Amino acid sequence: MGRKKYFLPVVFIALAVLISVGGYEYYENVYLEKPEESVTKAFDSIQSGDGYEAERYLDYSAITDKVGSKDIFNAVIRDFGYEINECETDGDKGKAVLQVQNRDFSILYGNYVIDAYSYVLQHSDMNEDDMKEKLDSIFVDEMENGKASTVISLITVELNRKGRVWTVSLDDSDIDSILGGYVTAQEDAQELLADSGSSLESIEEAYQQQIDDAGNMLKNAAHFIVDDLWNGELCNVISCINAGTDTDGNEYDLEQGMENVDSLMEDKLAQYDTQINDLDSNKYKDIIDAWNIYKSELNYLVEDIKENDPNPKDYYYHPDTAGFESAMNNFVNLVYNEESSQDGSGDTQ
The ranges assigned to domains in the chain are 58-198, 208-343
- Measured CA to CA, the distance from residue 239 to residue 247 in angstroms comes to 6
- Measured CA to CA, the distance from residue 69 to residue 139 in angstroms comes to 12
User: Is 60 exceeded by the pLDDT of residue 29?
Assistant: no
User: Is 50 exceeded by the pLDDT of residue 293?
Assistant: yes
Task: State the DSSP H helix or E strand holding residue 12, giving kind and residue range, or none if neither.
Answer: helix 10-15
Integer CA distances (angstroms), 195 to 112, 121, 198, in order? 18, 19, 8
**For the residues 133-152, what does the mean pLDDT come to?**
83
- Measured CA to CA, the distance from residue 53 to residue 41 in angstroms comes to 8
Q: Give 83-86 contacts, CB < 8 A, sequence gap 24+.
A: 84/36, 84/39, 84/40, 85/154
Low-confidence winner among 135-144, 201-210, 251-260 (lowest mean pLDDT):
201-210
Query: What is the average pLDDT score of the chain?
Result: 82
Integer CA distances (angstroms), 212 to 52, 108, 209, 294, 339, in order? 48, 19, 5, 23, 9
pTM, full prediction: 0.49
